[in-house]
Each structure stands twice: as structure tokens, then as C-alpha cells.
Amino acid sequence: MSIYKLNIKKNNETISLEEFKDKVLLIVNVASKCGFTSQYDGLQKLKDKYSDKDFEILAFPCNQFGSQEPGNNEEIQNFCSDRFGVSFPVMDKIDVNGSNTAPIYQHLKSQKPGLLGSEGIKWNFTKFLVDKTGKVLDRYAPQTTPEKLEEYIEKLL
């Protein structure tokens, strides 16, 4: 299945991933109260640097790791814009693991399993890099900062 056949939600409105066709995507599960939350700064710098070059970041808040994203969608949006000046799309809160896993994460995990073939997301700020054709190219651990992905993104643009 193509990633472009999937839908996501922002502000309770359905968005087709078809809208992001022909763009390099960095897809990240995020949380406001995580030790990695400061990565919002690095993500925004990537967005600023490459926004005119068919690049987009899609952030998916998730409360499955240490209850580090307790807010509702509006609170999360406000936090991201007020604290980090985020201009990339922050979607509605989802599950990335378990029986209620959002379809986009079912797809991402099946295309790029983690360590030893495990599909489960281990923590907040796991990142997936998707090329302009919708192919999931790589999966990066939370410890991999956005800055470390810049060279890979540049090669795809």
C-alpha cells in the first residue's frame, strides 16, 4: 500500500497524505514533557531551512511513553507554537503502538522495522524519513537529533 492512500487528522479534520506527494517527509512521534522535547528546536530549524525545497515535517503527538503527552490537541498545538515557534503540522494525538495504532504508524513500522525486526516504537521522537515517491527509507532512534539527519535530507531534495 502507498503511504499516499492513508489519511491523518489535524484539528479533528481528515487530511489525505496525497497532499504531501512529491515531498520529502520527516515523520516524528512527539511529546511535550519528554527529555527529547528540545528536539522541536532542531525540527523547526530543518523546516525553516528546507521548506522551499519540497520538505515537510509531520509531528504526531503520542501519550504512550511515560504519559509525557497528557494534553488535548489544542493544548499541544499551543505548546508547540508558543514554546518552540513550530510552523510544521502537528497532527491530532495518536497511538503508535498497540491495538489502536494509527494507520500511518502501522505502515511506517511495517516498512522500516526497528532493532532486530521489532516493529514497536520504543520512545518519543522516533523519526521516519520518507522520499518524494512515498518510500519509507529509514527509521531513526530518539537519540538521533534532527541536525544529524540534515545530510540525508539534502541528498533527497
Catalytic residue among 17, 34, 80, 129: 34
Coil, strand or helix: which one is 136?
A: strand
Q: Are 57 and 46 in contact (CB under 8 A)?
A: yes
34 among known catalytic residues: yes
Angle between helices 39-50 and 73-84 (to 10 degrees): 80
Question: Distance between CA 3 and CA 133 in Å, rounded?
Answer: 9
Tracing cell 521516519 back to the chain, one arrives at 128
Query: Which residues are identified as catalytic?
Result: 34
